[in-house]
Amino acid sequence: MPNIVHRVGIEASQIAVYKALTKQEGLAGWWTRPNGDGANVGARMQFIFKRGGPTMEVIELVRLKRVRWRCLDGPAEWKNTELTFEIGRFGSETVVLFRHRGWKAECDFMAHCSCKWAYFLLSLKSLLEDGRGTPFPVDRHISEWG
Protein backbone atom coordinates (compact mmCIF):
# COMPACT_ATOMS: atom_id res chain seq x y z
CA MET A 1 0.00 0.00 0.00
CA PRO A 2 1.27 3.51 -0.77
CA ASN A 3 2.59 5.68 2.05
CA ILE A 4 3.26 9.34 2.57
CA VAL A 5 6.70 9.88 4.09
CA HIS A 6 8.43 13.11 5.06
CA ARG A 7 11.53 13.97 7.04
CA VAL A 8 12.38 17.32 8.56
CA GLY A 9 15.27 18.47 10.78
CA ILE A 10 14.45 20.96 13.53
CA GLU A 11 16.78 23.09 15.64
CA ALA A 12 15.00 22.24 18.88
CA SER A 13 15.19 19.66 21.65
CA GLN A 14 13.50 16.29 21.47
CA ILE A 15 11.30 17.29 24.40
CA ALA A 16 10.12 20.41 22.55
CA VAL A 17 9.24 18.32 19.49
CA TYR A 18 7.55 15.63 21.60
CA LYS A 19 5.41 18.26 23.36
CA ALA A 20 4.41 19.81 20.04
CA LEU A 21 3.15 16.37 18.97
CA THR A 22 1.33 15.44 22.18
CA LYS A 23 0.00 18.64 23.80
CA GLN A 24 -3.11 20.50 22.70
CA GLU A 25 -1.32 23.85 22.51
CA GLY A 26 1.59 22.35 20.60
CA LEU A 27 -0.63 20.65 18.02
CA ALA A 28 -2.67 23.86 17.66
CA GLY A 29 0.54 25.73 16.88
CA TRP A 30 1.48 23.87 13.72
CA TRP A 31 -1.49 21.77 12.47
CA THR A 32 -4.83 22.62 14.01
CA ARG A 33 -6.38 22.64 17.47
CA PRO A 34 -7.54 19.29 18.81
CA ASN A 35 -10.19 19.07 21.52
CA GLY A 36 -7.64 17.85 24.09
CA ASP A 37 -4.14 16.52 24.64
CA GLY A 38 -2.68 13.43 22.99
CA ALA A 39 -0.28 12.73 25.83
CA ASN A 40 -1.65 9.30 26.83
CA VAL A 41 -2.18 6.09 24.91
CA GLY A 42 -5.89 5.70 24.27
CA ALA A 43 -6.53 9.45 24.12
CA ARG A 44 -8.87 10.49 21.34
CA MET A 45 -8.51 13.87 19.74
CA GLN A 46 -10.77 15.50 17.21
CA PHE A 47 -8.82 18.01 15.18
CA ILE A 48 -10.88 21.05 14.33
CA PHE A 49 -11.04 22.34 10.76
CA LYS A 50 -13.66 24.44 9.01
CA ARG A 51 -16.09 21.61 8.47
CA GLY A 52 -15.40 19.00 11.17
CA GLY A 53 -12.04 17.27 11.24
CA PRO A 54 -10.40 13.89 11.75
CA THR A 55 -10.46 11.99 15.02
CA MET A 56 -7.20 10.33 16.02
CA GLU A 57 -6.60 7.76 18.71
CA VAL A 58 -3.15 7.74 20.28
CA ILE A 59 -2.08 4.10 19.90
CA GLU A 60 1.60 4.30 20.87
CA LEU A 61 3.85 6.71 22.71
CA VAL A 62 7.56 6.31 23.37
CA ARG A 63 8.56 9.40 25.32
CA LEU A 64 10.83 11.68 23.24
CA LYS A 65 10.98 9.07 20.46
CA ARG A 66 7.69 8.08 18.90
CA VAL A 67 4.08 9.21 18.56
CA ARG A 68 1.60 7.03 16.73
CA TRP A 69 -2.04 7.67 15.93
CA ARG A 70 -4.80 5.74 14.24
CA CYS A 71 -7.42 7.72 12.36
CA LEU A 72 -10.82 6.65 13.70
CA ASP A 73 -12.91 9.05 11.68
CA GLY A 74 -12.40 11.73 9.06
CA PRO A 75 -12.08 11.67 5.28
CA ALA A 76 -13.06 8.21 3.97
CA GLU A 77 -9.52 7.68 2.62
CA TRP A 78 -8.05 8.35 6.09
CA LYS A 79 -10.17 5.93 8.08
CA ASN A 80 -7.97 3.31 9.78
CA THR A 81 -4.79 4.83 8.37
CA GLU A 82 -1.88 5.23 10.78
CA LEU A 83 0.29 8.26 11.35
CA THR A 84 3.69 7.91 12.96
CA PHE A 85 6.17 10.57 14.04
CA GLU A 86 9.60 9.08 14.81
CA ILE A 87 11.81 11.52 16.69
CA GLY A 88 15.61 11.23 16.72
CA ARG A 89 18.81 13.25 16.82
CA PHE A 90 21.05 13.92 13.86
CA GLY A 91 23.93 16.30 14.51
CA SER A 92 22.55 19.48 16.06
CA GLU A 93 19.02 18.75 14.94
CA THR A 94 16.02 16.83 16.11
CA VAL A 95 14.75 14.90 13.14
CA VAL A 96 11.11 13.98 12.62
CA LEU A 97 10.39 11.08 10.29
CA PHE A 98 6.69 11.23 9.49
CA ARG A 99 4.71 8.42 7.91
CA HIS A 100 1.03 8.29 6.97
CA ARG A 101 0.39 4.66 6.13
CA GLY A 102 -2.51 2.47 5.11
CA TRP A 103 -3.76 4.34 2.05
CA LYS A 104 -5.70 1.99 -0.20
CA ALA A 105 -4.68 3.76 -3.41
CA GLU A 106 -2.27 6.39 -4.68
CA CYS A 107 -5.22 8.71 -5.37
CA ASP A 108 -5.30 12.44 -6.12
CA PHE A 109 -6.40 13.13 -2.55
CA MET A 110 -3.35 11.28 -1.23
CA ALA A 111 -1.11 13.45 -3.42
CA HIS A 112 -2.85 16.55 -2.06
CA CYS A 113 -2.41 15.33 1.52
CA SER A 114 1.26 14.54 0.91
CA CYS A 115 1.94 18.12 -0.15
CA LYS A 116 -0.13 19.47 2.73
CA TRP A 117 1.59 17.28 5.35
CA ALA A 118 4.94 18.66 4.14
CA TYR A 119 3.52 22.16 4.52
CA PHE A 120 2.44 21.44 8.10
CA LEU A 121 5.71 19.72 9.04
CA LEU A 122 7.52 22.84 7.87
CA SER A 123 5.03 24.72 10.06
CA LEU A 124 6.15 22.53 13.00
CA LYS A 125 9.76 23.48 12.18
CA SER A 126 8.88 27.20 12.06
CA LEU A 127 6.92 26.96 15.31
CA LEU A 128 9.88 25.47 17.17
CA GLU A 129 12.64 27.49 15.50
CA ASP A 130 10.93 30.89 15.23
CA GLY A 131 8.09 30.59 17.74
CA ARG A 132 5.50 30.88 14.99
CA GLY A 133 3.98 28.10 12.89
CA THR A 134 1.57 28.29 9.98
CA PRO A 135 -1.32 26.13 11.22
CA PHE A 136 -4.87 25.96 9.86
CA PRO A 137 -6.38 28.21 8.60
CA VAL A 138 -3.57 28.66 6.09
CA ASP A 139 -3.29 31.84 4.05
CA ARG A 140 -3.88 30.00 0.79
CA HIS A 141 -5.11 26.57 -0.14
CA ILE A 142 -2.93 23.95 -1.82
CA SER A 143 -5.70 22.54 -4.00
CA GLU A 144 -9.46 22.10 -3.96
CA TRP A 145 -9.41 20.10 -0.72
CA GLY A 146 -7.96 22.99 1.24
Binding footprint of a copy of itself on the chain (CB under 8 A): 2-9, 90-91, 93, 95, 97-99, 106, 108, 110-112, 114-115, 117-119, 121-122, 125, 129, 140-144
Would the CA dihedral through 116, 118, 122, 127 be positive or negative?
A: positive
C-alpha to C-alpha distance for 63 and 65, rounded to whole angstroms:
5
Question: From the CB of 24, what's the least distance to a copy of itself, in Å?
Answer: 25
Complex with a copy of itself: residue 3 or 46, whichever CB lies closer: 3
The answer to whether 98 touches 83, Cβ cutoff 8 Å, is yes
Complex with a copy of itself: residue 42 or 90, whichever CB lies closer: 90
Question: From the CB of 39, what's the least distance to a copy of itself, in Å?
Answer: 25
**E strand or H helix that includes residue 69:** strand 66-73
Half-sphere exposure of 43 (CA within 13 A, CB side): 21
Complex with a copy of itself: residue 15 or 115, whichever CB lies closer: 115
